[in-house]
Each structure stands twice: as structure tokens, then as C-alpha cells.
Amino acid sequence: MAFRIQLLRKTASSVTTSNQALHFHGGQGAAINIAVAEVLSVLRTAQEIEPNPNAVIFWYQHVKIRELDSMTAEQLVLEGRATDVVRFLRAIQSGVRHEQ
């Protein structure tokens, strides 16, 4: 739990710094806030299934999801498909893992 809080705090402080820099150089801060919210949404949902933060980060970055075009969660989020990943994780939580 402490590791998760530290990771989120570190991420939040990095995002705040990045957000301020981007806002100053072009007003893209809102897009960064949305992207961070999507990443955190996926990571929080994944952590409901796997409480080990290291395993969640590894899964997010490296494990290809067959049902979602064999892409990693990270790739999917970068493509704007965070909702698909969360829906996939919710299906796993409910005991249903099916191809879309």
C-alpha cells in the first residue's frame, strides 16, 4: 500500500510539473490531465485484480491482451482505448473473459 501511494504521489508530482510546462508552451495541459486520468483508471482497475503494484506495472507495459488486438494495456491507452481496457478488466473481475 505504501509503495502504491508513493508511486501515485511521484506520478502526480511529475504530471503536475509536466502539465505546467505544457500549459505554458501551448495549452495542452487538459490533454495531459485526460491521459493521466486514463492511465490511472486502468492501473486502479488492474490493481483490484492484482494487488502487487510491480505485477500491475509489468502487466500494463508488457502483457499483450489477445482480446484487444494483442496489444498491451499501455499501447491501448496511448491509442485512446482506455475504456476498452477497463471493460476487459471488469469482465475478468466478473469471471467472464471473452473476445470482443
- CA proximity to 44, closest of 81, 94, 7: 7
Taking only Cα atoms into account, the Rg of the chain, rounded to an integer number of angstroms, comes to 15
Q: What distance lies between CA 61 and its chain's CA centroid? A: 9
In which residue ranges of the chain is pLDDT below 50?
1-25, 99-100
Do residues 75 and 42 make contact, with C-beta atoms less than 8 angstroms apart?
no
Give the per-residue pLDDT at 56.
97
Do residues 89 and 97 make contact, with C-beta atoms less than 8 angstroms apart?
no
pTM recorded for the entire structure: 0.67
Give the per-residue pLDDT at 20.
42
